[in-house]
Chain A
């Protein structure tokens, strides 16, 4: 006779423990941790390259990629402490990997930790890293249909960034349809339009990061 064993436990229970460890650590240290999620080529690393030198806060970066340390090398040029995670084929970061990487982050001396997830709109949205919130990054050349096609990410993200708006004149992209769909999925999201090469939209984002940091520190 087979025996029935009741479990009723999350499949990801082990990783969720790492995520809650990280979340309480960030809370205790007063660090704003942003999990940046977007397609390959959406401009996540370029955004950080332009943002970090202008941000008057102490930052660190964890870079998640399938292979290479190219992104970490680009961030290191800005003088920001950076740790590269290679997932060796994995399509997303998991909390256990981030927890290991945190050993090399000067957590007591930073205000903001950016985690650049593996370029992918699907899988990274499903794994809690213990972040303060998720940030969705979508670029104009990807098309205006991304929010409805990848609802999980756009629903969860506290902030949605539309990047590369400088190419709008050359590409068929319905800007109001994009934002209308974001609004449907996530009416409370903070919304930003950026063209970071020209520096457009960076000041708004910097102001928001300062506000989010004040929020979590309760002042």
Chain B
């Protein structure tokens, strides 16, 4: 249950970003979450809905792009995607493998409503 800590860190980051901006509200938050991060999207959304009450991002839509595992063998160059991470290449049995995708935990972008319509 580390989703709440992640939500806290996410909210702190957004609140800090909003300090010098003319944002009325944050309406959409898009995250990338890798399959290796052991995060349950529904729990993350639930924590967010509870914790965001009374803040600039209350009612924001939290969109989670789940990134599947992608593993590359550095010996033979084989690329594969598995439900579970395995540290050995299924082609050449090398243990010299790298997890390319799956560890993401990124705030990609936000959609915000501005306080005042800009008059040029």
Residues on A facing B (Cβ under 8 Å):
2-15, 90-92, 94, 122-123, 125-127, 148, 151-152, 155, 183-188
- For chain B, give the interface size range: 20 to 34
- A-side binding surface: helix, strand, loop or mixed? mixed
Residues of B within 8 A of A125 (CB): 38
Q: A5-B110, A13-B13 are in contact. Are A122 and B38 (CB under 8 A)?
A: yes
Whether a CB of chain A sits under 8 angstroms from the CB of B112 is yes
CB distance from B100 to the nearest CB of A (A): 14
Which chain A residues border B31 with CB–CB below 8 Å? 11
Residues of B within 8 A of A127 (CB): 2, 5
CB distance from B102 to the nearest CB of A (A): 9
B80 at the interface (CB under 8 A from A): no
Is the Cβ of A4 less than 8 Å from the Cβ of B84?
Answer: no
8 A-B residue contacts at CB 8 Å?
A4-B109, A11-B107, A90-B5, A122-B2, A127-B5, A152-B36, A155-B85, A188-B87
Beyond known contacts A123-B1, A123-B5, A127-B5: 15 more, CB 8 A cutoff: A2-B112, A4-B109, A5-B111, A6-B108, A7-B17, A8-B106, A8-B109, A14-B12, A123-B2, A125-B38, A126-B37, A126-B39, A151-B85, A185-B87, A187-B95
A94 to B8, CA, bound (A): 12
